[in-house]
Amino acid sequence: MNVLSDHFAEFREGFLGTVELTGLSGLLALVLGILMAAFRVSPVPALRIFGTAWVTLLRNTPLVLLFLAVTLGLPALGLKGWDSFWLAVLTLGCYTSAFICEAVRSGINSVPVGQAEAARSIGMTFSQTLGQVVLPQATRIAVPPIGSLMIALAKNTAIASGFNVTQLGSVQKSLNADTGYNIYVIFLWIAVCYIIITLAISGLFRLLENRLAVAR
């Protein structure tokens, strides 16, 4: 009697749930994180303030509290009918974006300011300077910490199981109720699933780092 082969469907569903949740909230975090980093270095004071507030608020709130605020708060504000999966994507994406923003910003700060001045002095706008000159060079510095943040995100998805989202954490909850299996074995298999995901992420980012290193 093997818990993995007996309940393979549940494990597969949980695994895919975690992968999907990580992938989608990671994508949202990247988009928002880069946008907020652009806000934080923009010449418009209102955008800088917004970016700083975003990072300060989200980076300093415990993730569980954020989940509570979103899953209880949004419906209370009248935003009903959101699927718990998408609420989890929203929460994890916004939370992680605050950290990504800071990783991107440290990359931006590593690019000599003279190059941005040179770009501006040939008539490039702020967004052209950022997009053509600064961000492509900031990437090399920002990619390794972003890789770590994505691994942290994959593990943080476990918190979503407490908010009715099917992923690896919920496999453990449903199987615990089922008597006859060794609880440690269940945990072991769940851990293996997480390791597969996190190793895949580190592999992906290692690849990315190498590609960027080759392109000088």
Footprint on this chain of other proteins (rule: CB under 8 A) = 43, 112, 114-115, 117-125, 128, 132-133, 136-137, 215-216
The Cα–Cα gap between 134 and 117 comes to 11
Residue 78 or residue 114: which is nearer to other proteins going by CB? Answer: 114
- Return d(Cα 207, Cα 215) in angstroms, integer: 13
- Compare residues 83 and 117 and give the one whose CB is closer to other proteins: 117
**Among 90, 55, 53, 98, residue whose Cα is nearest residue 71:** 90
| Helix H or strand E encompassing 28 | helix 8-41
Closest approach of other proteins to the CB of residue 189, in Å: 45
What is the smallest separation between the CB atom of 150 and other proteins, expressed in angstroms? 24
Beta carbon of residue 138, minimum distance to other proteins (angstroms, whole number) = 10
Nearer to other proteins, 62 or 112 (CB): 112
- Tokens 């993730």 found at: 63
Q: Which residues contact 98 (CB under 8 A, 6 or more apart)?
A: 33, 36, 54, 55, 57, 58, 59
Taking the least distance from each CB to other proteins, the nearer of 122 and 177 is: 122
Minimum distance between the CB of residue 40 and other proteins, rounded to whole angstroms? 17
- Cα dihedral: 55, 83, 62, 108 (round 10): -20
Is 87 or 111 the residue whose CB approaches other proteins more closely?
Answer: 111
* Residue 39 C-beta: closest distance to other proteins, Å: 16
